[in-house]
Each structure stands twice: as structure tokens, then as C-alpha cells.
Structure 1
Amino acid sequence: MKKHFSFSSSPTEKTHIEFTKKLSDSDFSTALKALKKGDWARIEAPYGKFTFEGEHKKLGLLAGGIGITPFKSICQYCTDMRLDTKVTLIYGNRAENDIVFRKELEVLQRQNKNLKVVFTLNEPSSEWIGAKGLITSEMIKNQIPDYKETTFYTCGPPKMVDIMEKLIEQLGVPREQLKREYFTGYT
């Protein structure tokens, strides 16, 4: 079986590589769950252009669900490298227990004065004190006031990525300031 993954570890983490997969009842998930310590897996060189190496001064990261995976890597990289890059991550989920890497992202936010993490839920409990609702153009404008000078990355379910692309376009942000990644595991 062959599957594409994004790194959730940062290039600064030299002792290991980390991938993140939401386990389901699919054949691939079943095979993955059956792996034991010491089993072999073949890993090929990275593909794609959904990367960040410090080339932008302002980043807007728009994530949905397990689409957080590459953004955890980017946030870790920016923090470890002490980059001056201003990063705002808006991370949408259905419910609080769906938030992947919550503790890690909260720690990174405390360590990095240039990192702002916004968790938003579209089915929050009555106790939830964070942002509520789907990611909208209003939310983007409120959380990223300098959005016109920001390079956006979006990753998540294909429908969500398409919506984020339209929102960014409606905000008047040039198309070349948007990078997107569809997570094929959703299809």
C-alpha cells in the first residue's frame, strides 16, 4: 500500500521524523494499526511544494481537522529557528476533542511571541471559551488585520480548502499569496 503524508515533525528535529494519521476503518489504517515495533515501512523522499523555509515575513495558516499536520511542523520550525516571521494559525474543528496537537501548539505559542494560535469550533460545548463557528473572511480579518501583506497556507478536507481559497480571493489577497494542500485521506 502506498500513501502520501505530510511531516508533523520539524526539520529542526534531527533525531526522528513524525507523521500524523487519523485512524479510520480503511484498509490502510487497518494495516497501519497492525504494525509492531521493529516492523519495516518504506519511506520515499518528500514530494510537493507545500513547504516553508523562512521565506515569508507574515504567515496565515488556515487548518481544518487533521490538516493541522504540516502546520504543526511549520510552527515548531519557526519557534526552534527563532524566526521573526509573524505566524497566525486559525485551526477549525467540529468539537474540542477533535483538536489535534492542542497542548503542543499552546506550548509553542507560549515559547514564540510571533505565534498566535486561534482554535475555532463549529459545534462547541457550552464551556468552550475560544472562537466559535467556521473560518470566515470576518474571522480572518479580525485575527490577521494585516492580511493583505500575509502569505496564506491552507490545508484540510478538499471542500474546506476550496472555501478558504475563495475567502482569500474575496479579501483581495493575490492568488500568489496562497498555498494549498488537499488531504487526500478525506476523499
Structure 2
Amino acid sequence: MPEFTLTLREVREEATDTRTFAFDSEPRVVARPGQYLLVSLDAPGDPRRGSRSLSIASAPSDPGLLLTTRVRTASPFKRALDGLAVGDRIRAKGPLGRFYLPEGDAPAVLIAGGIGVTPFRAMVRASIDAGRRSPVSLITSDRTPDSIVFREEFDAWSVAHPWFTVTRTVTRPAESGAPWTGPVGRIDERRIGPALRAGAVLVAGPPSFADGMQALLASAGIPGDRVQIERFQGY
């Protein structure tokens, strides 16, 4: 498995307690959208010795390698990651994984729970770069309005590219002071209409979310061979 050095070039606040870490890689790493890296950090007190899987949010056309994650937990790994300064270097392996948006003209649906939206940012950006015209529907579920990741970017892309649409729902809007006039509650059968007509359905999020979506899609009669699941483990 290839191993390389990542040098931190920038940190961006994407949403509440959510940051994008932009790295330069040596040698330059080009990942297929949907893949992830195995990142190693010096994280004192970490029983897993500071190595975790992080999905890549960047497409090949983006400057640098983008890793986006929640940082609200107090785990040793998260503290070490959030404590990095510009110019710091870490080690990584990869890219890994086979969670891909299929090629071709068939409509696709991307269903994300929270930070599970990360690989979909890479997929949509790459689809724009490739001149895609077939429909891609992004359906997301977040806890609060201020925890929605890549909100402005996805909204701008949906305006500029009519084949790309975004549907959002928030489960606990009252926990945030941010305004919300959109749907409230979990993704249910009312929200997955586009998936019934899609050639591919990709689901990413925490295990409980992914399992729930897998069951929902199966109950709607969507064949399992049209569904890909990526479970984000907590760390």
C-alpha cells in the first residue's frame, strides 16, 4: 500500500464543529472520487495508535487534497488532527476503497447522513469537471441547520448545473439558533422518490444511518445490486 507525506496548507471551517483540512501530498496523490485515506497521527492516549480512515472530499481538479471531518468529539485522534498547524506533516496510506459513482448516463442518487456527504462532494465536483448531463440527486440528513456541510457550494452547483439537485432534511432544528424552513425529520419513503428511478444509489453515513437507509431502500423494492453502502465509523 503506497505511503506518503501530507503537508497542511490550510484549515477551513465548513460548518459547526466541522473542518476541511487541505493538504499538499508528496508525491502528489490523485484519488478516484469516493476513495479514502488511512491517516496516521501522533495522538497520545489513542488506543488505536492514531490511524484512521478519512474520506477524500476533493476531486482531481481541486488544488490540494481535502479531508473534511467533524471535530466536536474529544477523542485523542480528533484532538491531534484539530491541533495541526499550517506546515505540519503527517503520514497517510492509500487511496483506498471502491465506493464509486458508476460511469455512464444512468441517473444516480446520493444519500448522506451528516459527515457522510464528504465523498459525494468529490463525486459531484468530478462530474461537473467531466461535463456530466445525466441526473444526480443528493439527499442529505443533518442534525441542525448549522451542521450542514458544503451547503453553499452544493447550492451554487445546483443552480449552475440543472442535472444536479439537492434535497435536505434536518432532524433537530430547535437545537440550533440557525433558521430553518425546510423539511424536518429523518429521510423516509417520501424523500427517496428519485432512487426508485436511479441506476445507482449510493449511501454514506454513520452505521445506524446506513443500515436504516439500506432497509428503507429494500422495502421500496430497490434491488440490492443497485445500492452501494459506505459506513462511517466513529473515531
TM-score (norm 2): 0.73
Q: How does 1:145-156 map to 2 (within 5 A)?
A: 147-156=196-205
The corresponding residue for 1:80 is 129
1:56, distance to aligned residue in structure 2 (A): 5.5
Whole-angstrom distance in 1 between the partners of 2:133 and 2:106: 7
Instruction: Indicate the residue corresponding to 1:57 in structure 2.
Output: 106
Alignment of 1:93-108 (within 5 A): 93-108=142-157
**Counterpart residue number, 1:140:** 192
Q: Which residue, 6, 12, 18 being the options, matches 2:66?
A: 18
Aligned to 1:41: 90
**Partner Cα distance (1:173, 1:119) in 2:** 21
Give the conservation status (yes or no) of the 8 Å contact 2:102–2:200: no
Give 1 or 2: higher helix fraction.
1
> Residues 152-167 of structure 1: matches in 2 within 5 Å?
152-167=201-216
Could you say which structure has the larger radius of gyration?
A: 2
Match of 1:28 in 2: 77
Decide whether aligned partners of structure 1 residues 34 and 127 sit closer, same or farther in structure 2, where only a CA change above 3 A counts.
Answer: closer
How much has 1:119 moved relative to structure 2? Answer: 1.2
* 1:54 and 1:85 in contact (8 A); partners too: no
Once residues 140 and 162 of structure 1 are traced to their aligned partners in structure 2, the CA distance between those partners, rounded to angstroms, is 15
- My pick for the range that moved more, 83-92 or 49-58, is 49-58
Higher strand share: 2
Residue 219 of structure 2 corresponds to residue 170 of structure 1: yes
- What is the count of residue pairs matched by the alignment? 182
Letter of the 1:94 partner, please give it.
R
SS of residue matched to 2:52: coil
C-alpha distance in 2 between matches for 1:49 and 1:73: 14
RMSD: 1.8
Q: Following the alignment from structure 1 to structure 2, what is the Cα–Cα distance between the partners of residues 53 and 169?
A: 20
In structure 2, C-alpha distance between the alignment counterparts of 1:171 and 1:137, rounded to whole Å:
8
Q: In the TM superposition, what is the alpha-carbon distance from 1:53 to its structure 2 partner?
A: 5.5
SS in 2 for 1:137: coil
Q: 1:67 aligned to 2:116?
A: yes
Structure 1 residue runs of 5 or longer lacking an equivalent are none
**CA deviation after TM superposition for structure 1 residue 127, in Å:** 4.7
* 1:130 has 2:182 as partner: yes
CA 1:56/1:175 → structure 2, altered by over 3 Å: closer, same or farther? farther
Q: Which moved more, 1:173-182 or 1:80-89?
A: 80-89
Measure, in 1, the Cα distance between the counterparts of 2:104 and 2:98. Answer: 13
The structure-2 alpha-carbon separation of the partners of 1:5 and 1:127, relative to structure 1 and needing over 3 Å to count, comes to closer
Distance in 2 (alpha carbons) for counterparts of 1:36 and 1:127: 33
Q: For 2:108, what is the secondary structure of its paired residue?
A: strand
